[in-house]
Structure 1
Amino acid sequence: MVELKMKTLVGMTIEKWAQSPVTSEMVRPYPVEKEEVILVFLDGSNLTVKEAEDGSGQIVWEWSDTKRPFSCRPKDGPMKVKISEDVDSGRLEILASGTGETVLLVSREEVDFCEEMFEKTPRIMEKRPVWIFAGGSGFGKSTLGRFLELQGKIIYETDSDQRLPNIIMADVIVAGNRNRSLSIDDICARLPDGVEPIFVEFSLAEEYLTKK
């Protein structure tokens, strides 16, 4: 059954992250890089298009009302769009209501998305972010990492291995203090190409204020 909607598109973002898909044997292989397209609408709804987490490669989409920031916006301002959605056949089509141009076309096998209709905002991040948590012990680096893991992020703790792997594929790296000779440069040297490391230092507020 085809469902038709009219909405006003105000923003878009493409998020990149690391993911361990669950296989049929419920085994999570080594993480791979994934990305999803998120469209943000004036009524507060969001549409997320991504690859299914079961490793099948099938394209799926989902709606939500969670408030989301966006890194791109339509070049000519908010755009009225016509949305044709057929869940049974796995087909989704979004057209600009004024011109009939295709904004987004989704089937089970592929995504056709017109990035040329959008312009970047100052929030854009071209590369996949990788946060490196560093600082003293007992400040919550691992605790915050576990919270993020529950949200689907891939977390790597340097203290979990005696030697770092050649390539660290993760969204968040918790730099432990067990190996005193380990430096942030050592960690960054093992990140894959195309990522943007972001350094986050955990410390007591009074130490920060003293430095100032």
Structure 2
Amino acid sequence: MSSGIDGDRTGLSGRRWLPGGEHLVAVARAELPQKDGLAGPFTALAALRAAGFAVGGQDEVAALSGTTMEGLSRAIESFSGGRLVAVPATGNRSPQSLFMLLAELWRLTRVAVIAEVDPAEFGAHDTPERALLDYLDTGIPPLWSSRWRPAETQFVLVAGMRIGAEGTLVSIMDSRHGLHDQPVEWLAAALKRMLVVVDDGDTEAAVAAVTTAGLWS
């Protein structure tokens, strides 16, 4: 998908983190390994700890959240004492909408994006860097497909973007493969739902970002 931005000229072809994204990834890495069946609580725990909330662990989050998006939202708001808000983002999951949403989120102070995905729709997590760079230049997604095909959807963190002349890569942190970049088209195909986790004072701005992107909050 063309972003309309020349990444080579702007320097954006390198990773540009969402606000707080690099710290979020570091916190998630420190919490590894994820416990069996707790991908959702793992991402919620990372979002909470990255925002400075001392939550006991994955089991503690799971006891309140279960493994649903609604439960994760409830747990995040409960463990943060209402100082974090999880804004849902559903609806039109086109590559253009996702790009617009993530670009709008750069305006915020801090954000953690939790995505429920079907990893079978991703490209391979170890796609060669040369192939990713070619995609950024041409917009033609690499041929390497995901070998991760779980029976159920999984929860991942969306941490940043790399913008090229014709393609956009989205930086994904998952508890199985760590940090990897996916063409925005593949994320759109894999995506089921998202939560945009922000400080309570940024709730209105987060809702505006979701609706501006043509999604529903």
TM-score over 0.5 (shorter chain) = no
Rg larger in structure: 1
Determine which structure has greater relative contact order: mean sequence separation of CA pairs < 8 Å that are 6+ residues apart, divided by chain length.
2
- Normalising to structure 1: TM-score of the pair? 0.23
Q: Which has the higher helix share?
A: 2
- Normalising to structure 2: TM-score of the pair? 0.23
